[in-house]
Structure formats: C-alpha cells, structure tokens
C-alpha cells in the first residue's frame, strides 16, 4: 500500500513539474546533462557518481556543460554555478533576487521553523536577525571582549597537546574540536557545554538521501519511516539544553548574583546575555521570540566549531605535506613572539595569514555555499533562471580553477603575499564564506580563533609524521559529508615541545 501511494505521489508531482516546464519552455534555460523522466538527473549524482565526491562530480559535469548548469533532482530545479563571473552575478548583480533560502523538513524542525539567520527565508525576520548579529553579536568590539576566554582556551590547547604527546602520534581533530567548542561556548553561553555530541548525532540522522528531499509531495514518507520522529527527538534534546542555559541566565539576571548582564558592560556579557537584553528591549510590534534566540545561538555554535576545527586541521596537514611552508610559518611565529602567543601580535603573522587563505582556497569549510533560492526570475551568464530555483555555488571548484589561479592544485601560500585578494566577499574567485547579503557574518570571530590556534601550534611545538612517514606520502584525500570537506584519514602527528627561547 505504501509503495502504491509513493508511486502515485511521484506521478502526480511529476505532472505538476511538467506543467511548470511547459510554462518555462520559452526561457533560455541553462544547459545541463540529459534528464530521465521523473527522477531527472538523480541517477548521475546518486547512482553514477562513482568514486568522486559530489563537489568533484559536479565540477566534471560543469566542464562538459558550462559554468551555469541546470540539474533537475526529482521535482526540484537546481542551478550549479562554477565560475567567478557567474557567482558575482548571483551574489552581487542579482543578490536580492537570490537572497532567499530553500526549505526542508530537517531545517524546519531543527531551526525552530527557520527562525535563525543562516537558513531563514529573506524577509523582515531575516533582516532583523542579520542586523542583530552584525551590530550586536559579532561586531569588532564584541569579538574583542571575548579575548580573555580565547587566550585561556589556547593555553589549555597547548597543555592538552603536551599531555597527549606520544611516539605513536596525536590525533589533532578531537583536541582541536574541544578547543573550538570551548571558545564558542564560553562566548555564547558563558561556559563550556557538551553540544558537539548532540549536534553530531542530529547531523548523522539528518544526513543521507531520502526521496522526500527531492519529491516534497512524499513528505509523508518521513512520518511512515520514523525519520521525522528521530529528527524531532534530536531537536527536543537540543532545545532542552538551550532552555537550561537560558533559564540559568534569566535566574542570574533576576538575582544579580554574578556579573551584571544588564549594566551594559560588554566585558561581562556572553551572547545569551546580549540576546536576552535585546529581547527585553525589542519593539513590541516586532518582538524577538525565544525560538529566535535559541535558533540564533544554535547557528553560532554550528558555524563556529566544526568549521574552525576543519580549517586548522587542513592547514596543519598542508604544512606537514609542504615542509618549507611549515618552516616559514614557524620561523615567523617564533620571531614575532618571545614567551607566549598574544592576540595583539597576530596581525604581524603575514605568512601565517597567507597559509590560512591558501588552506581556505583549497579546502573551503563547505565546497558549496549554503544554497540560495531565487525570489524572482534573473539572468545569469546569459541564461534565464526561473523563480524558486535552488542555486549551488561550487566554491571548491572556483578556488581550483586554473583560469584564476596559477598551478591551481598546488599549495602555495606565497600567492597571497603582497596580494589584496581576500575572503570577505569582494573577490569572487575566492569565496570560502560567500558574498553579498547572505555572506557569513562571523568571519572575524572565526578567523581570530583559527589564527590563535595555529600560532600556538607553530610556536610551542615542532611536528613530525609518525612511523617515519615522508611528507609526500601523507594522504590528503577529501571526503564530502554534511556539506563539509573532511580528511578521509584523520591527521596523526607527533608534537615535540619546544623550549621557550630556542629557535
């Protein structure tokens, strides 16, 4: 019976899709690979993808069909952008037309009905949340106020690596994850929280492919299969933890027993305090709901932990594979700092800054930017993009395109020395954090954490590969999972503590 209903749902959805196609037949649609009835191009990504991760597979298809490529995935129309010029048209020329986000069952549940910033549809709520984040939560002054927390956690990172040192090697990722989690949690919640495991479990459940993802008319399958109830269970656990944190803050505000959250002293406020202040003083005509507060806090944690951890791990891996880069970065760090690494001196680490940029070029946090959805018809690369098209920008492919980069697959931080190319959305050949209205607002917060961690790793330790492995044998094969670029093999290194004062 369920199978019959599924088939009928697919047939009905396909007829609706065909009617839409007929209405759009006069448009100059982007080229794309040949589609099959009902499933569209799903077979080329799910069934025939071979050994290539999705971002690499889409680059190969774009080489055959062009930098603005149409894909039909079930009932959903996608446009894949694989050039700096087309990306600029999407995120600058027609930024407002592509300012919204597509929805999904998972997002609706985990983000409180898309009341967050990252996945909210374009509109009044999103504009209010964006202003709140840029002006109040992630301003330069606010980020600076969290410096003592970052310095303390950086010292703990160095101590943890020293304790873990062994001849077999240390798995960097778990230690870096603990560091990033602590930094973000102390800034957001005032104390470390064990959110990582809860969010990881939720992401594992949310991952994978389901028919209802590309056939929205079959959403009932998520109920029948028990998938929806699993996502809702994860959401309840996360919601309960956030409720506990917020209730603690509200109790402290009432008793005024700790650092006053209402006195305007930014040095004592965490992000929960800031959001509660804003909620209390919000215009009654446009209130900030508790669901929005929790959704934004969840965004902050998600964006600030895994992304930071992966970037640091990739940077260390690339320097281990390229010993000359490691030597230059270490020499620089040890010439700038004498006894300890300080944030005040990070701006002097020009070569390390180039290492980070080159790492982000080759290994952006997500090979695709969060999908945009067109609010109105627009022309990109000479092709008409209909309303409600989902646009994927393959920043991984653009970052390795030889049209923009010499020796595009080579790790060469020197390309960024004496260069104005930056990751803040003005250079469309280099878009690890996007551009335009939907660009990541937390760049400043995230990058200072990455710089501080790497500077400490370079200053306090020399690094070796285990088992007398040669640099050229280090496996940097990428793995695509949950829209993240991960190392297939976890980085295993041997740290050798350096005596302060030695070269």
Residue 182, C-beta contacts closer than 8 angstroms, at least 6 positions apart: 153, 156, 192
What is the distance between the alpha carbons of residues 366 and 56, in angstroms, rounded to a whole number?
Answer: 13
State CA 378 to chain mean position distance: 26
Residue 445, C-beta contacts closer than 8 angstroms, at least 6 positions apart: 138, 143, 146, 187, 304
Could you tell me where the beta strands, DSSP code E, fall in 260-304? none
Is the CB of residue 309 less than 8 Å from the CB of residue 180? yes
Tell me which DSSP letter residue 479 carries: E
- Within a 13 Å sphere around the CA of 323, how many CA atoms are in the beta-carbon half? 10
Tell me which DSSP letter residue 112 carries: T
Question: Measured between alpha carbons, how far is residue 252 from residues 239, 269, 271 in Å?
Answer: 20, 12, 15
Could you tell me where the beta strands, DSSP code E, fall in 126-242? 170-171
Q: Is 440 annotated as contributing to ligand binding?
A: yes
What is the distance between the alpha carbons of residues 286 and 27, in angstroms, rounded to a whole number?
Answer: 40
Buried b (16+ CB within 10 A) or exposed e, 224-248: eeebbeebeebbeebbebbeebbee
| Cβ neighbour number for residue 207 with a 10 Å cutoff | 12
Residue 227, C-beta contacts closer than 8 angstroms, at least 6 positions apart: 205, 210, 221
What is the distance between the alpha carbons of residues 90 and 79, in angstroms, rounded to a whole number?
Answer: 11
Query: Residues for the chain: how many in total?
Result: 503
Residues annotated within the binding site for heme are 440
Residues annotated within the binding site are 440
């Amino acid at each position: 019976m369920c199978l019959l209903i599924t088939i009928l749902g697919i047939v009905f959805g396909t007829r609706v899709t065909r009617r839409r196609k007929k209405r759009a037949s006069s448009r100059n649609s982007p080229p794309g690979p040949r589609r099959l009835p009902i499933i569209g191009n799903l077979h080329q990504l799910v069934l025939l993808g071979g050994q290539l991760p999705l971002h690499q597979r889409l680059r190969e298809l774009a080489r055959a069909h062009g930098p603005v490529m149409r894909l039909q995935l079930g009932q959903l129309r996608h446009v894949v952008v694989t050039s700096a010029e087309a990306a600029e048209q999407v995120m600058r020329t027609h930024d407002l037309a592509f300012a919204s986000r597509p929805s999904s069952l998972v997002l609706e549940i985990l983000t409180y009905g898309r009341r967050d910033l990252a996945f909210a549809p374009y509109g009044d709520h999103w504009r209010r949340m964006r202003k709140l984040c840029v002006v109040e939560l992630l301003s330069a002054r606010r980020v600076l106020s969290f410096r003592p927390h970052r310095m303390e956690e950086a010292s703990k990172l160095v101590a943890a690596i020293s304790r873990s040192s062994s001849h077999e090697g240390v798995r960097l990722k778990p230690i870096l994850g603990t560091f990033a989690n602590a930094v973000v949690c102390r800034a957001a919640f005032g104390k470390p929280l064990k959110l990582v495991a809860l969010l990881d479990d939720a992401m594992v459940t949310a991952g994978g492919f389901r028919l209802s993802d590309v056939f929205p008319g079959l959403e009932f399958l998520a109920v029948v299969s028990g998938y929806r109830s699993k996502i809702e269970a994860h959401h309840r656990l996360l919601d309960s933890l956030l409720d506990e944190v917020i209730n603690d803050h509200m109790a402290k505000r009432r008793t005024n027993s700790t650092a006053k959250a209402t006195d305007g002293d930014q040095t004592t406020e965490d992000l929960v305090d800031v959001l509660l202040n804003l909620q209390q003083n919000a215009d009654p005509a446009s209130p900030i709901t508790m669901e929005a507060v929790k959704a934004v806090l969840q965004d902050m944690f998600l964006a600030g932990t895994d992304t930071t951890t992966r970037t640091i791990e990739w940077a260390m891996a690339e320097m281990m594979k390229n010993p000359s880069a490691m030597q230059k970065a270490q020499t620089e760090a040890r010439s700038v700092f004498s006894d300890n690494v300080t944030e005040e001196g990070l701006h002097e680490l020009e070569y390390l800054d180039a290492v980070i940029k080159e790492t982000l070029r080759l290994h952006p946090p997500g090979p695709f930017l969060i999908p945009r959805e067109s609010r109105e018809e627009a022309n990109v690369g000479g092709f008409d993009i209909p309303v409600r098209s989902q646009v994927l920008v393959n920043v991984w492919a653009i970052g390795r395109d030889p049209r923009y980069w010499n020796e595009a697959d080579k790790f060469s931080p020197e390309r960024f020395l004496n260069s104005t190319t930056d990751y803040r959305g003005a250079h469309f050949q280099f878009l690890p954090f996007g551009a335009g209205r939907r660009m990541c607002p937390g760049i400043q917060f995230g990058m200072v954490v990455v710089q501080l961690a790497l500077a400490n790793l370079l200053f306090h330790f020399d690094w070796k590969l285990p088992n007398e492995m040669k640099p050229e044998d280090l496996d940097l094969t990428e793995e695509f999972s949950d829209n993240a670029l991960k190392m297939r093999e976890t980085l295993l290194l041997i740290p050798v503590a350096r005596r302060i004062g030695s070269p």
